[in-house]
Copies of this chain bind each other. A is one copy, B any other.
Amino acid sequence: MVKVGIIGAGRIGKVHITSISTRVRDAVIKTVADPFMDEETAAWAKGMGVQHTTKDYEEIIRDPEIDAVLICSSTDTHSPISLEAIRAGKHVFCEKPIDHDVEKIKEVAAALEGTKVKYQVGFNRRFDHNFEAVQRAVAEGRIGRPEIIKITSRDPEPPGIDYVKVSGGMFLDMTIHDFDMARFLAGCDAEEVYVQAANLVDPKIGEAGDVDTAVITLQMENGAIAVIDNCRKAVYGYDQRAEVFGSEGMAAIGNDSQSSVQISNSDGVTGEKPLFFFLERYMDAYGKEIAAFIDAIVNDTETPLGVMDGLKPVLMGLAAKKSWEEHRPVKISEIM
């Protein structure tokens, strides 16, 4: 039985508490820490089988009984708490991104060297049934050598402007998932990034120095060309599709919706929208990523997404930012 401490009881912290409580057999949650821990959250956590709640995450770091830590706190705390936890000998699951600063991620990587600590970064989409299926088709060679990879990722609604300002920009906040997906589907790293982007959804996003619509082209190391299209607002819901085209065929995935019902009437044939909210869309994937982390601990295997998998999408995001600012293709090697 893996004893887990969870740092951060916000939206994503609660998702992981629920997953461990309801579907991860080999783990129990000893402690949940959150600086804003209140009675309601504490009661809810108790109901989910959490043994102890606190405002002080250091209790988790110091607790010799706790084997593994899930870092679900704000982005700026990811790398410092990662370091603390690693030094305390605890396995770490860290929400993405580890940091926006490459040097800080490298510090985490350095801290891991020579230890037996398992480290996993939270790119949940790799565990989604659709993305898993398209990746498996590619990895099994069913479409031959990948030539063109297309990823569509559009949010149903833009985040609040206050969040936009501290988000690190769309490329590090939103596209980062797609950068990870491009690596996952291609089975290799990117060499170069070119960005065409615009502020079309909300002028306030532009005033905050960010974009909300983008097409990002990636030259992958295996010769394939990847292209990501992003928008902060799709009125029809959370649009999450991908397609890998290769020498022997194509594998493509569509969106999930609430049901398969189709209404035919004089207006046409109408099916349901894609699921609107990311937690609804990826709930199962969140459960599977935590289960994979716990499995890696129990079986002493590598985690499916290590610290370098946390670093690479940040490099791609920084290259994308530079491409946007300088209006030219940017090599990943310019960032490192």
Map CB proximity to B onto A180-198 as digits: 1 under 8 Å, 0 otherwise. Answer: 0000000000000010111
Q: For the complex, what is the distance from the CA of A248 to the CA of B231, rounded to whole Å?
A: 12
Residues from chain B with a CB closer than 8 A to the CB of A231 are 147-148, 245
Cβ A262 vs Cβ B266 within 8 A: no
Residues from chain B with a CB closer than 8 A to the CB of A227 are 196, 215, 217, 227, 229
Cβ A253 vs Cβ B263 within 8 A: no
Q: For the complex, what is the distance from the CA of A198 to the CA of B213, rounded to whole Å?
A: 26
Cβ A225 vs Cβ B234 within 8 A: no
Cβ-neighbour of A150 out of B130, B229, B262, B265 (below 8 A): B229
Residues from chain B with a CB closer than 8 A to the CB of A144 are 235
- Chain B CB within 8 A of A327 CB: yes
Cβ A130 vs Cβ B259 within 8 A: yes
Residues from chain B with a CB closer than 8 A to the CB of A258 are 129, 133
Q: For the complex, what is the distance from the CA of A251 to the CA of B219, rounded to whole Å?
A: 28
Cβ-neighbour of A259 out of B214, B219, B253, B265 (below 8 A): B253
- Chain B CB within 8 A of A159 CB: no
A184 to chain B, nearest CB (A): 14
Map CB proximity to B onto A237-254 as digits: 1 under 8 Å, 0 otherwise. Answer: 001000001011111111
Q: For the complex, what is the distance from the CA of A137 to the CA of B217, rounded to whole Å?
A: 27
Residues from chain B with a CB closer than 8 A to the CB of A239 are 250
Cβ-neighbour of A198 out of B225, B254, B261 (below 8 A): B225
Cβ A147 vs Cβ B235 within 8 A: no
- Chain B CB within 8 A of A39 CB: no
